[in-house]
Structure 1
Amino acid sequence: MNAWSNFKMSLRLLLRQWKSGQLWLLSLSIIVAVASATCIALISERLDSAILDRSAETLGGQLRLKSSTPIEDHWQKQADALGLNSAITLQFPTVVIAGEEMSLSALKAVGDHYPLAAKLEVAESADTSVGQIKNSGPQPGEVWLERRLFNLLNIKLDDPIELGESAFTVSGILLQESDRGGNFYTLSPRVMVNLSDIQSTGLIQPGSRVSWRLLLQGNAQSVAQFSDYAESQLADNQQLENLQDGNRGLARSLNRARSFLSLSALLALLLAGVATGMAARDFALKHYDTSALLRTMGLSRKQINQLFISQLFVLGAIASGIALIIGWSAHWLLVQLLVDVLPTKLPPAGIAPLVTGFVSGIAILLGFASPHFFRLGAVPPLRVLRRQLAPMPASSWLTYLSALLVLGGLFWWYSGDLTLTLIICGGGLISIWLLMQLFSWLIGVLAASSLLKNRGLNWRLASQQLARNKQQTAAQVLSFSLPMMIMLVVLQVRSGLLQDWQQSLPVDAPNQFALNIQRWQADDFAAAIAERNYQATPLYPMIPGRIIEVNSTPISEFSREGEQSKTYRDLMFGASELLPDGNEIVAGAWPPKDILQQLETSKSGSKDNTQTVESPLYQHQVSVAEGYADWLGLSIGDQLTLRASGIEFNATVSSLRKIDWGRMKPNFFLLFSPKLIEQLPVNMMTSFNVPEVTNATERAASEKAYSSLVRQFPTVTLLDISRILAQVTSMLQQVTLAVELLMVFVLLAALMVLLTALQSSRSDRARLGALLKTFGAPLSKVGQIFRTELVLLGLISGVLALLASQAVLWMLYQRIFEIEFQPQFIWWVISPIASVLLILISGQLVTRKALQTPPVNVLRQLG
């Protein structure tokens, strides 16, 4: 028989077996594996593209040169020589004037070719919240303002404003500016003008604090060459940022999301692989007779292997094609669920994720299914006469090794980390072996216990059936309890976190922050808040400063990789006599004090009339946030040297505070006594709640009251975080819903393992049923025994999944979320019941035919 005839014969056999229903479990296992891999690969590729696109938008280009002095000409010449597109911007704080109104603003001047890679959205009508994407900045003589400034200055579009010595016409409302950045000065509302207008304003004078930026965009080679050029040219006041620096927070978040997606895909692939292997083993066992018959007709071992392996890969190709469609659809649904959470519209994916999914399916077939199919070629022809004859058993280690190599290769491909792959594969194998031994022991103990023996014949026979093949039963329990545990964790974390979030944010939780309140404004601002019946927190003094030394050691020696920004950035020092709401002292004593050490004596006056002046010297104390203390390794009694407003002073760490940042109230890393802070030029800050109203009349009155507050205190920066609070709640709901969708793949894979395990044990059940019916047991009694076995299997799996989920939840709540873990006892009821029902229904579908088969047929088939 030539190869083509062999292939045609394999197709005919495949069609016949498909019609008989022998291939549906194997097909479904392959579909679950390929669909999950395709879905995750599609999302991962689009997230990678989103990181690069968003980073370019955040930077304004592929490179950004920052400088505190004007950009020298040689930078521009080098960019032009390399064929890079470029744009220059500068920004600084200034006051904008409209008639008799004025406000502090963050002015940005943009040159030609801006916004380059940035996203600039401007509205030309006050009645719309959606603007147009602009490809250039304002025209000379025109200005774009952030919407907040329209209320602060009481102006509208086309009104004139003044910047320094020049007048401008307001021509647009600035809605979005992706390269704005996030620092203290950009909290002020934005004013954007054309770079050519800056000189006429006269705003830039010697000593002005101006930030210059050169944005660059081009091909990868030119960008790399410019980076190399910059290494030797950068001055101390200059910094070159690339796409990796552009949005590290976003990249970390999306990388975590991608890691979770990859782990979900690998878990689904693992379970689907196990199901594929079990289904292939069952398929091979059923075709020993067919193989033996073909051997008697003259087919060689090689031809038998080709015949069945061809069937396997044709089936794999068809199932994978269906799975690619399912995987793409699932990824599309997942993206729609996360549309408000993802940072930007995701770029389209290429063909590589589809190849990834297809290759993953083929790899699963090679690693888990092919070893069982190759055994068909070794079936002896004499099996036609003696059905007890079977092929020489393949080494179990060889079978497991092929599966391990495939899994290891897929792990490495998905993670890109060989060390992590070795750790996961090695640790996973050890964990699975230990769990299998533990489950086998538990099943043996349960079967031997008097608790089941005294329950009657049904329970005794069911427990003996489970204990007869403890390894197989343990594999079923493990494969089903693991994904069920994950589903329980996800569902309980979702409900628990949302409940904790809602409890920590009552109806009157602050949704506005007020910054830059001057001391002389504090009483008037507090009165204005009270007049409008806004619930407010106390006014806290605040001043920017930083730690210089810890125990006489420079702070620079405490910085570690990845943490430099934390130790060097400017902090906001605060002061309070009362412990702020949401703060808890975990070490030391509250409040921080100023302890009089001695009186410093100095002389002043003329030579003939000198006076002795005694100045008090205090030992200051400071209370440090627990997290910040951990960063620097601070403990009670440590000595800090600090600087604020050009003044250096020392302080002793007197207490450590645990802060609940979720309360949306003012908090500080360092808290001093008011006596110290009052000696320094400080501003005040507070937070308050503007009640949400639904009635149109009340809403108009509320907006009017808030607008009047803005106009009454134009120099106070008001930050509205109400939308952020709503967005966080929505994000939690959407992300957990998306996680649950991903877990569907895992649960389906686990269901495939369960069904194939039940299917593979159907011959044992059929033999038990035939023997029982031969001894006179009615069909109903046999059915009761089978159902009891399934109930026991479901109960064991459900209880183990429940116990494991509670342990995982406790660790998550205590170590990660840092909130009190409160068991939700409703799940203690739901988990075992759901597990029993799912396994019972699945098992009934699989074993129904075994019950209906006449005993004589079963006994004849068993020889």
Structure 2
Amino acid sequence: MSESQSPVRPKRQSLLLKWSWRELWQGQLWPVAVALTLIIACVFALASLVVRVEKIMINQGRSMIAADLVLRSANPVSDSLVSEAKRLGLTVTAQTRFGTMAFSDNAMQLVSVKSVSSDFPLRGELVLQGSNRTQQQVNPGELWLSERLFSLLNVKNGDQVAIGNAELTVAGTIVQEPELSFNPFSQMPAVLMHEADLAATEAIQPGSRVRYRAYFNGTEAQLKQLQESTVLAPDQRWISETTQGRTGEMIERVQQYLSLTLILVIMMATATLVLTCMHYTASRTETVAMMKSLGAGKAFLWRWLARQLGLLFAIAAAAGLVLGLFLEWLLRLPLTDVLPQPLPEMGAMPWLVSLLVAILVSVPGIGIALWRLLDAPALAVMQRQTADTSSKKRYLLILLPVVALLLWVGDNPMMWLTLAGLFVLMLLLAGLGLLLVAGLRRRQWGPAMTLALSRIGRSPLASGAQLAALTSSLMLLAVIWLLRTDLLADWQQTLPPDAPNVFALNISPAQHQAYLNVLDESGLMRSDSYPIVRGRLVTINGQDPRAEDTGNGSESDDRQEGDESLRRELNFTWRDSMPVHNTLVAGEWRNAPGGVSVETGVAERLGITLGDTLGFNVNSQVFSATVTSLREVEWRNMRPNFYFIFTPDVMADLPATWLVSFRVAAEQSELVNQLGREYPTVTLLDLRTMATRIQAILQQVSLSLSVLAFLGVCSGLLLVLTLLRLSLSQRQQEIKLYRTLGASRSRIRATIWSEYGLMAVLAGIIAVLGAEALVAALIKWGFELPVSWHPGLWLVLPLLSIVLILLIISTMMKQLLRPLGR
């Protein structure tokens, strides 16, 4: 009978399997299984939520541009581009937008006309309310008006309104449309008509200011292929959910935060796995040495470990995915009221990513330690080996996750900034901790603290690594939470709950004070009023910034020529004092004759500095002003903001209209219509729908980031707890030695409390320094936001560190002192 047919082999296999089970559950391998389970569960839950939140944010952003991708053009979109899009399988529709006068039998009004097809929009929701029904598309012969136009034109459903030469029937009210504009100066009351009626209006003539848009829906690959195959004209621009002003910036930063949180959680979970595996290796060195002394070869030992690892990974994968599903559901509970229904599908990505990440971190995290374990000599059964005699080739296993990280991170500067910052900070923090310990050792302390400092100083490398690991865990925990806090603070500051939601423009000087009186008597929160004159910037220090050759090089010329401030008329104003929602960053605000204050963004783009002389043109009148100050402006706060604010003497004699913004509560809706009737020449821009939708997105983002940050904090706490438990477990041999030398239980207890109490305080303080530095770098260069400091962190993090160590030591002290007598 051959060996393969021998009954001994199956019996041996059965014994190895039973041994593997016993080793897994009764030995020291179960903490590795728990760590791996938590890695899979955390990555699965976080990846699932990341996928859902990203899809929700993208869907929200695309619903606000009415398609997956939009092409904006000043000229008609070519038939060849539309044909190419259809060839690629994209759904296409178009819009023509222009301003013109609308005439009823009783009044007239300047309106913004949108000519669309019946399949508009491709994304988002168009709600049109007629006399007897609600519909979602525009049909030929219909004219749909924004609510204010009914009072401005004095019409009702069924009346005729002339748009150019076409007489169209008023079909009803535009209740909701997907496209939102964030520039109050460019808005007029909107009307919707069908593209089949456009030619009859004859409103578009040579020289007319018309804007064209083409809307595309399809897969990411199709959209990318269309963009790559299209050469844009100078007047054309692609618009996507990440380029659409306020929401685009918000979506982009949410995606950055989600990716950053995911990689930090993976790093902390990996550290937990490596620590537990190192502890397992240390506890099983004598077992492997004994097996080798009894004749076991490496092949047998590898099979023995392979069975354990196979069982470990299978159990961890099953438990991790089940736990991950439950955790993902649990994380969504706070978001139930704000997440759309049905939720976007998470797809296969979280399942694959969680298992792939587990494999990638397990190969070096477990493999290096086990390789070293199998290289332990048989002599180790009699004498503990301190030198590392195993092959250095095992460290090549690190290349597997490193290469995967390179492929994943790619050219993402935020990830590289984070990883590089973490590496440098870990070295600095470890060195700083040891320097502080060295300084403390020079002072006189009690016996317990002296012994604790001596123990830390005896092994500076191990103590430095331990302190760096504890500090880094607390620091990463703080980074995740602080980034979430700073992002939300920035978004909420740009659109606070009391932000203006209605703009009144074109207020004549004769109406100005009376209009403000009506607002004040109605108890409305309003901004200051601003005189408005439209004009152009024409020279900088006597040079035309749009000239092809300014002597600054072609790159500068191209940059300046492409700046939006040079391609259109701007809104100029003048004031005695700086707006309260602007920040002075250079120069000084003074009312010296001939002065102008410039917004920092346009100043940087055009190379404008203090003392420069700028030339302007208003209604063919040319004048100049000297730059006296630079202001920082938050364009997203829904308040009146300007590139240029002049001293009163420069423009006071020019004819101007006035602008004011105010906030209307839900119960004051009738007031907007009343203002429209009493002041028909004043243009009212009602942004309440837009503000409500942005607030809803902010609420979703706020809760989502809070949940993700909480998961990241839990991962950090798990790492800290694991680190402390393993560190204390390794102290048992030292404690026995202390007892042999005559130390009492109380002295040993005091020493342990002193050592870990000192480490807790040092780790907490140093972690605050590291977290503040890393968050400041990420906020400034990653998210491009103003840096702020967090005084509360200096109290919370050291206290958290102390509390964690108190909990761990309290639970383990009895076990540590169990072998000791009184």
Give matches, 1:27-38, under 5 Å: 27-38=33-44
TM-superposed deviation, 1:836: 0.9
TM-superposed deviation, 1:205: 4.8
Contact between 2:102 and 2:109, CA under 8 Å: does it hold in 1?
yes
Q: Distance in 2 between matches of 1:357 and 1:222?
A: 28
Q: Distance in 1 between matches of 2:85 and 2:368?
A: 59
User: 2:305 aligned to 293, 305, 308, which one?
Assistant: 308
Distance 1:592 1:391, change over 3 A: closer
**Equivalent residue number for residue 470 of structure 1:** 460
Deviations 1:31-53 (A, max 9, x none): 34333433444455556656775
Contact between 2:20 and 2:307, CA under 8 Å: does it hold in 1?
no
Whether 1:377 aligns to 2:383 is no
TM-superposed deviation, 1:283: 0.8
- Give the 3-state SS of the residue equivalent to 1:349 in structure 2: coil
Distance 1:388 1:751, change over 3 A: same
- Structure 1 stretch 259-268 or stretch 505-514: which is displaced more? 505-514
Q: Which amino acid aligns with 2:537?
A: I
Q: Which amino acid aligns with 1:572?
A: N
**Equivalent residue number for residue 264 of structure 1:** 261
**Equivalent residue number for residue 140 of structure 2:** 140
TM-score by length of 1: 0.79
Distance 1:508 1:252, change over 3 A: closer
**Equivalent residue number for residue 430 of structure 2:** 436
User: 1:630 aligned to 604, 607, 610, which one?
Assistant: 604
Deviations 1:22-78 (A, max 9, x none): 234322322343334334444555566567756765555566555545566666666
Give matches, 1:304-343, under 5 Å: 304-331=301-328
**Equivalent residue number for residue 194 of structure 2:** 194
**Equivalent residue number for residue 29 of structure 2:** 23
Contact between 1:280 and 1:369, CA under 8 Å: does it hold in 2?
yes
Q: Distance in 2 between matches of 1:235 and 1:229?
A: 13
Q: Which amino acid aligns with 2:808?
A: S
**Equivalent residue number for residue 87 of structure 1:** 93
Give matches, 1:476-495, under 5 Å: 476-488=466-478
User: 2:19 aligned to 8, 13, 16, which one?
Assistant: 13
**Equivalent residue number for residue 549 of structure 2:** none
**Equivalent residue number for residue 609 of structure 1:** none
Contact between 2:745 and 2:820, CA under 8 Å: does it hold in 1?
no
**Equivalent residue number for residue 532 of structure 1:** 522
Contact between 1:559 and 1:567, CA under 8 Å: does it hold in 2?
no
- Give the 3-state SS of the residue equivalent to 2:123 in structure 1: coil
TM-superposed deviation, 1:370: 0.8
Q: Distance in 2 between matches of 1:643 and 1:334?
A: 57
Contact between 1:758 and 1:846, CA under 8 Å: does it hold in 2?
no
Give matches, 1:608-619, under 5 Å: none
**Equivalent residue number for residue 107 of structure 1:** 113
Contact between 2:503 and 2:660, CA under 8 Å: does it hold in 1?
yes
Deviations 1:461-503 (A, max 9, x none): 3333333433333333222323433544666677789889999
TM-superposed deviation, 1:178: 3.1
Deviations 1:504-545 (A, max 9, x none): 999987554322323443344234334434454443222333
- Give the 3-state SS of the residue equivalent to 1:89 in structure 2: strand
Distance 1:49 1:504, change over 3 A: closer
Distance 1:16 1:468, change over 3 A: farther
- Give the 3-state SS of the residue equivalent to 2:465 in structure 1: helix
Distance 1:831 1:538, change over 3 A: closer
TM-superposed deviation, 1:175: 3.8
Contact between 1:305 and 1:373, CA under 8 Å: does it hold in 2?
no
Contact between 2:56 and 2:344, CA under 8 Å: does it hold in 1?
yes
Deviations 1:308-363 (A, max 9, x none): 14423431342233333444555556567678999998742321332122111111
Distance 1:359 1:812, change over 3 A: closer
Whether 1:850 aligns to 2:820 is no
- Give the 3-state SS of the residue equivalent to 1:555 in structure 2: coil
Q: How large is the RMSD of aligned CA atoms in angstroms?
A: 4.5
Q: Which amino acid aligns with 1:196?
A: A
Q: Which amino acid aligns with 1:643?
A: N
**Equivalent residue number for residue 575 of structure 1:** 574
**Equivalent residue number for residue 209 of structure 1:** 209
**Equivalent residue number for residue 449 of structure 2:** 459
TM-superposed deviation, 1:838: 0.8
Q: Which amino acid aligns with 1:714?
A: P
TM-superposed deviation, 1:834: 2.3
Deviations 1:777-818 (A, max 9, x none): 554554443333332222222222234445567778999654
TM-superposed deviation, 1:709: 1.4
Whether 1:417 aligns to 2:423 is no
- Structure 1 stretch 371-380 or stretch 810-819: which is displaced more? 810-819
User: 1:408 aligned to 402, 406, 419, which one?
Assistant: 402
Deviations 1:351-391 (A, max 9, x none): 1332122111111111122111122323334545x243688
Q: Which amino acid aligns with 1:788?
A: S
Deviations 1:113-158 (A, max 9, x none): 433x233321437999xx76x3xx3222323333444565566656
Contact between 2:69 and 2:238, CA under 8 Å: does it hold in 1?
yes
Deviations 1:401-442 (A, max 9, x none): 644x34523432331239887776666544433433332333
Q: Distance in 1 between matches of 2:411 and 2:87?
A: 39
**Equivalent residue number for residue 127 of structure 2:** 122
- Give the 3-state SS of the residue equivalent to 1:450 in structure 2: coil
Distance 1:629 1:343, change over 3 A: farther
Contact between 1:408 and 1:425, CA under 8 Å: does it hold in 2?
no
Whether 1:280 aligns to 2:273 is no
- Structure 1 stretch 139-148 or stretch 415-424: which is displaced more? 415-424
TM-superposed deviation, 1:661: 6.2
- Give the 3-state SS of the residue equivalent to 2:236 in structure 1: strand
Q: Distance in 2 between matches of 1:622 and 1:633?
A: 15
Contact between 2:433 and 2:766, CA under 8 Å: does it hold in 1?
no
Contact between 2:509 and 2:656, CA under 8 Å: does it hold in 1?
yes
Q: Distance in 2 between matches of 1:79 and 1:805?
A: 48
Contact between 1:541 and 1:677, CA under 8 Å: does it hold in 2?
no
- Structure 1 stretch 461-470 or stretch 660-669: which is displaced more? 660-669
Deviations 1:186-205 (A, max 9, x none): 62232111122234445445
Q: Distance in 1 between matches of 2:759 and 2:660?
A: 59
Q: Distance in 1 between matches of 2:222 and 2:265?
A: 42
Q: Unpaired segments of 5 or more residues in structure 1?
A: 595-619, 694-698, 857-863
Whether 1:450 aligns to 2:450 is no
**Equivalent residue number for residue 823 of structure 1:** 791
TM-superposed deviation, 1:445: 3.7
**Equivalent residue number for residue 765 of structure 1:** 731
Q: Unpaired segments of 5 or more residues in structure 2?
A: 547-553
Q: Distance in 2 between matches of 1:836 and 1:800?
A: 13
TM-superposed deviation, 1:574: 1.3
Q: Distance in 1 between matches of 2:341 and 2:621?
A: 44
- Structure 1 stretch 410-419 or stretch 41-50: which is displaced more? 41-50
- Structure 1 stretch 68-77 or stretch 753-762: which is displaced more? 68-77
- Give the 3-state SS of the residue equivalent to 2:731 in structure 1: helix
Contact between 1:270 and 1:407, CA under 8 Å: does it hold in 2?
no
- Give the 3-state SS of the residue equivalent to 2:300 in structure 1: helix
- Give the 3-state SS of the residue equivalent to 2:261 in structure 1: helix
- Give the 3-state SS of the residue equivalent to 1:213 in structure 2: strand
Q: Distance in 2 between matches of 1:590 and 1:637?
A: 13
**Equivalent residue number for residue 714 of structure 1:** 680
Contact between 1:770 and 1:855, CA under 8 Å: does it hold in 2?
no
User: 2:512 aligned to 496, 509, 522, which one?
Assistant: 522
Whether 1:685 aligns to 2:651 is no
Q: Distance in 1 between matches of 2:415 and 2:480?
A: 25
- Structure 1 stretch 362-371 or stretch 740-749: which is displaced more? 740-749
